[in-house]
Amino acid sequence: MDFSVDDAARERIEALRAFGREHVRPAGLEADREGRPIPVGHAYFDAAMQHGYGRTRWGREDADAGASNTRMALLLAEEFAYWDRGVMIANPGPSLPEQSVIGMGTDEQKERYLGPFVAPDRPRWACFAMTEPGAGSDAAAIQTRARKDGDGWILNGAKCFIGSASRSDWILVQATLDPTKGRAAQRAFFVEQGTPGLGPFKTEKKMGLKAYESASFSLTDVRVPAANLLGGEARYERKAGFKAAMQTFNAGRPVIAANAVGIGRAALDEAIRFAREHDLLGRDRVRDRIEAMARKVRMARLVCLRAGQLADLRRANIQEASMSKALAATVALESASLGLELLGAAGARGDALIEKLYRDAKAMDIVEGTGQIQRMIIARQLVGLPRN
Amino acid sequence: MFDADPGEELALVVETARKFALEALQPHLREAEAARGVEGSVHEDYHAIGLAGLELPEAHGGAGLSSVARALVNEELGAADAGAALALDPLGPALHPALEMGLALEPLAAHGARPGSRVVLATDLDGQVSVGGDRVTAELPYVPADRADAVVVLAGDTCACVIEGIAIEPLRGAGLRAAGGGRLRADGPAVATVCDPAGAARARARIRLYVASLLLGVLRATCAFSRDYAQQREAFGRPIAHHQALAFLITDMKMAVDGARLLVHEAAWRLEAGLPAEAAAASALAQCVEASRTVGPDGVQILGGHGFMADYPVEKHMREARALGLLFGGFDAAVEEAGRRVCGNDAPLGLVESALS
Ligand SMILES: Cc1cc2nc3c(=O)[nH]c(=O)nc-3n(C[C@H](O)[C@H](O)[C@H](O)COP(=O)(O)OP(=O)(O)OC[C@H]3O[C@@H](n4cnc5c(N)ncnc54)[C@H](O)[C@@H]3O)c2cc1C
């Protein structure tokens, strides 16, 4: 048993902390104030590129580093979100779809779609579009259709809340060959920006996490070549399609959990700072709230790291991963909420960081599987909850 | 780097404790409750497999194991019968002030070596306790014991031991009846007295972890029992566990216990590693108690009316979890101590700093 953080992680956290203080927090506050995503061309993105963001880990010697050291990745995800979780998602790079492309893409697809992220000439983005106006949690119910047309595919449908969609070089779009056949009939397609029929993009007005763009768009007779089917047709003929997604361990949900821990920790630090500056630390009601925040954030972090450790050991962690996500999301919100109570009426002014954290935190229980969906996943293992 | 697995050596200790708990304690929990104690042969077995002197230094005949071992063993014993676990441990949490503050261990070790011996801990978090001059007085509304061969008192930064002038007036007890239970009065000469603020703080941390880990065991047991029951029991044409309201409740119970456990283990590891652990231990106990407020009653709820009856262990779990959470200052004192430390000027801002320290 060992609850320490090793020197390598410590050093990287320190470096990220300096970057966070200087660049991330200011960019996040500015976006929140102005109520819009960080615009393309903003100086923040240059700083992020200089700091090493925006690149793919495909082809690098440490390509698997994220997977083999999930715990390190989680500590860094926590630290980034501590400074601003919205800015983290706004970062350039192949983001969410990167892992799918590395895991399922053909060599040509990796070269074509991840290649430009190896040594990018400018900030570049890519994104993954699953959610639709009519289907979010129930991903098997998506309606965006893919129809074979000669040597290509025609896509029709609508996607919503997709991160960085309008600025992405390409969007990995999840579509179905037959909406009555559920997940087995789903395929993912690379749709390049500028393809006729893609868009228009509507940037959503959000409660929080304003630093990154969440866009909704339609696909109207969007034609893509056969080569744009993720993994290529041969892959599906071998019926390998969704098996890849059915892993016994999960390293993605703990990352969201770690983000939530970072938000909760930021709220805790803000609450302590406020209480100290206003000479409130001597009051029981103040100390009790701070203690509760510190305790829960600490617990959420441990749950998250435990899920990460199991992933590193390639041990089953489906329950732990979902628990970390469900728990940390509520802890982040509770921490911000308790923190606001310390501020009292000043918290209602709308200009305190902790008030922003309260709004930001709510999304953590929604994105990448709501708290209810996590509980369903856990309950399937715990009590054999049937899928239907 | 973060590693929450116990490691091979401790896994063996846990396995031994689990086997003993399942074979010697669990099948007899109602008898032990009625008899207000466990059978003599169970005491003998407990000593024989080395659980009696778990943390007692080897020089005093103990196994010299760490706080982490204690936390793991207590969870196993607590999951079977927390009252019996207290009855069996001759020194119990009374060892910790002695160990951390340098009270002469010989007399205590002698009790520790005798099956059936009980040394009771009285702290100023539970009632009136004072050490003045050479005299110790204590008046506690409840201790989980019917009798005591010695009482170790912890009052502020001072710890003392008393063996004469101890009286325990038996009470029914809300739970933990296998340990006995009564009102404690002690008024007698101090056999030894030590004042050590830092040691006292660490002792409080270990006392809290002792209780927290027993409590974890009770909560784990209620989760497991009610979960299994919910998969067997049918209502409206399917197992009750397959109604989402209960499936989510069972999930939340497990989540609460698994989260609290990591806090307990982290605090225990900090103690073992010689790091500041007082706030971590206090928070760990607070979280276990907070979890017990819902997990205990939810265990009963899942069994419905059957849960309310003594035919099933969940009503006992609910009572005992509540009783454990009231010992040694319980939630309030733990939150008070953790809050003071987290908010203290010496406490660094940000948890990563504290995790890294
Ligand atoms: C800030 C933000 C960024 C996002 N970014 C992206 C992105 O980049 N790409 C992308 O594809 N999507 C993205 N999303 C969408 C997100 O993944 C979905 O919003 C989420 O999966 C929930 O789907 P929904 O909104 O359709 O809610 P619904 O699925 O309609 O759910 C509504 C409510 O019903 C509950 N519910 C649903 N099914 C069940 C059930 N079986 N049992 C119990 N309760 C149930 C849910 O928990 C929820 O509380 C983003 C969302 C947000 C808020």
Q: How many domains are there within chain B? A: 1
- The reply to whether B326 falls in a domain is yes
**Binding site membership of A366 for ligand 1 (Cβ less than 6 Å):** yes
Minimum CA–CA partner of A309 in chain B: B3
Under the banding of pLDDT at 50, 70 and 90, the label for residue B15 is very high
Q: What is the pLDDT of residues B37-55, one digit of tens each?
A: 999 999 999 999 999 989 9
Residue A215 and residue A166 in contact, taking contact as beta carbons nearer than 8 Å:
yes
Residue A294 at interface with chain B, using a CB cutoff of 8 Å: yes
For residues A159 and A202, the answer to whether their CB atoms sit within 8 Å is no
Query: Does residue B317 fall inside a structural domain?
Result: yes
**Alpha-carbon dihedral of residues A300, A303, A307, A308, nearest 10 degrees?**
60
In ligand 1, which atom is closest to the CA atom of A164? Answer: 8
Clarify whether A368 is annotated catalytic: yes
State yes or no: pLDDT of B349 exceeds 60.
Answer: no
Q: Which of B252, B261, B352, B353 is best to mutate for the A interface (most A CBs within 10 A)?
A: B352
A361 lines ligand 1 (CB under 6 A): no
**pLDDT at residue B357 greater than cutoff 60:** no
* Pick from B4, B251, B338: CB nearest A291: B338
Secondary element (H or E) of residue A27:
helix A25-34
For the stretch A291-327, pLDDT in tens is: 999 999 999 999 999 999 999 998 999 999 999 999 9
Confidence of residue B64 (pLDDT cuts 50, 70, 90): very high
Does pLDDT of B65 surpass 80? Answer: yes
Alpha helices in chain B (DSSP H): 8-20, 29-35, 40-48, 67-88, 95-101, 106-112, 197-232, 244-273, 278-303, 305-308, 314-324, 330-343, 351-356
Please list every residue in chain B whose beta carbon sits closer than 8 Å to the beta carbon of residue A82: 350, 352
Q: Which of A383, A387, A388 has the highest number of chain B CBs within 10 A, making it the mutation to test binding with B?
A: A383
Q: Which atom of ligand 1 is nearest to the CA of A206?
A: 1
Number of helices and strands (H, E) in chain A? 13, 7
Residue A340's pLDDT is: 94
- A265 and A78 Cβ atoms separated by less than 8 Å: yes
Please give the pLDDT value at position B344.
Answer: 79
**Sign of the torsion angle spanned by Cα atoms B47, B50, B55, B60:** positive
Q: Which residue of A has its CA nearest to B224?
A: A382
Computed over its alpha carbons, how large is the radius of gyration of chain A?
21
Closest chain A residue to the Cα of B282, Cα to Cα = A295
This prediction's pTM: 0.94
* Separation in Å, CA B146 to CA A71, B79, B167, B172, B242: 48, 22, 9, 10, 45
At B181-198, the pLDDT tens digits run 999 999 999 988 999 999
Predicted pLDDT of residue B192: 86
Domain enclosing residue A289, as ranges? 242-383
Quick check: A273 and B349 CB within 8 A? yes
Q: Is A161 in the pocket of ligand 1 (CB under 6 A)?
A: yes
**Residue B353 binned pLDDT confidence (cut-offs 50, 70, 90):** very low
**Cβ <8 Å between A71 and B258:** no
Q: Is A327 on the interface with B (CB under 8 A)?
A: yes
User: Which residue in B241, B247, B342 is closest to A294 by CB distance?
Assistant: B342
Write b or e for each residue in A59-96: b if 16 or more Cβ atoms lie within 10 A of its Cβ, otherwise e: eeeeeeebbebbbbbbbbbbbbbbbbbbbbbbbbbbbb
Q: ipTM value, please give it.
A: 0.93
Whether A372 is in the pocket of ligand 1, judged by its Cβ within 6 Å, is yes
Tell me: pLDDT of B310 over 90: yes
Q: Please give the residue range of the domain that contains residue B299.
A: 199-356
How confident is the model over A13-42, as a mean pLDDT? 97
Closest-CA distance of chain B to residue A111, Å? 35
Stretch 266-305 of chain B: residues touching chain A, C-beta under 8 Å: 266, 269-270, 273, 279-280, 283, 286-287
User: Is the shortest distance between the CB of A37 and ligand 1 below 6 Å?
Assistant: no
Share in percent of chain B as helix, strand, coil (round to 5): 60, 15, 25
How far CA B271 is from CA of B100, B130, B156, B201, B264, in Å, comes to 11, 27, 20, 11, 11
Rounded-to-5 percentages of helix, strand, coil across chain A: 55, 15, 30
3-state secondary structure of B122: strand
CB of A212 within 6 A of ligand 1: the answer is no
Above 90 in pLDDT, residue B309?
Answer: yes
Pocket test for ligand 1, best of A95, A143, A367 (most atoms within 8 A of CB): A367
Q: How far is CA B277 from CA B121, B266, B347, in A?
A: 21, 9, 12
Q: Residue A68: its pLDDT value, please?
A: 53
**Is there a domain that residue A291 lies in?**
yes
Within 8 A of B335 by CB-CB distance, chain A residues are 288, 291-292
Query: How confident is the model at residue B103, as a pLDDT?
Result: 86
Q: How many domains does chain A have?
A: 1
CATH number of the domain where residue B229 is located = 1.20.140.10
- Indicate the range of A112-116, A278-282, B239-243 predicted with least confidence: A278-282
Tens of pLDDT, residues B20-31: 999 999 999 999
Selecting from A269, A298, A383 the residue whose C-beta is nearest the C-beta of B227 gives: A383
Mean pLDDT of A230-243: 72
Mean pLDDT (chain A) is 93
| pLDDT attached to residue B97 | 95
**Catalytic choice (A30, A111, A192, A368):** A368
Please give the average per-residue pLDDT across B60-67, as a whole number.
92
A325 domain residue, yes or no: yes
Question: How close does chain B come to A221, measured CA to CA in Å?
Answer: 40
A243, pLDDT greater than 60: no
**How many other CB atoms are found less than 10 A from the CB of residue A351?**
11
**Higher pLDDT among residues B354 and A314, named by residue:** A314
pLDDT of residue B139 exceeding 90: yes
pLDDT (average), residues A7-19: 92
Q: Who's near B203: CB < 8 A, 6+ residues apart?
A: B96, B97, B99, B100, B101, B154, B159
Alpha carbon distance B225, A134 (integer Å): 40
What pLDDT is stored for residue B355 in this prediction?
A: 40
Q: Name every chain B residue with its beta carbon within 8 A of the beta carbon of A1.
A: 3-7, 10, 68, 265, 269
pLDDT at position A59 is: 85
B161 within domain boundaries: no
Closest ligand 1 atom, residue A376 Cα: 42
| A-B Cβ pairs (cutoff 8 Å, strict) | 170
Is the CB–ligand 1 distance for residue A128 below 6 Å? Answer: yes
Residues of A in contact with B248 (CB under 8 A): 372, 375, 379
Closest approach of B333 to chain A, Cα-based (Å): 11
B252: in domain: yes
Q: Are B173 and B200 in contact (CB under 8 A)?
A: no
Rounded CA-CA distance A247/A260 in Å is: 24
CATH of the domain at A291: 1.20.140.10
User: For the segment A88-100, what is each residue's pLDDT rounded down to a tens digit?
Assistant: 999 999 998 998 9
**Is residue A350 situated within a structural domain?**
yes
Residue B203 within a domain: yes
Which string of DSSP letters, residue by residue, matches A139-152?
Answer: GGG---EEEEETTE
Tell me whether B230 touches chain A (CB under 8 Å): yes
For residue B220, is it within any domain? yes
| Residue A101 maps to a domain | no
- On whether the CB atoms of residues B213 and B261 are closer than 8 A, the answer is no
Q: Do B259 and A303 touch (CB under 8 A)?
A: yes
Which amino acid, residue A210? K
pLDDT tens by residue, B148-176: 999 999 999 999 999 999 999 999 999 99
Structure tokens at A374: 């996590």
Q: Does A379 contact B at CB distance below 8 Å?
A: yes
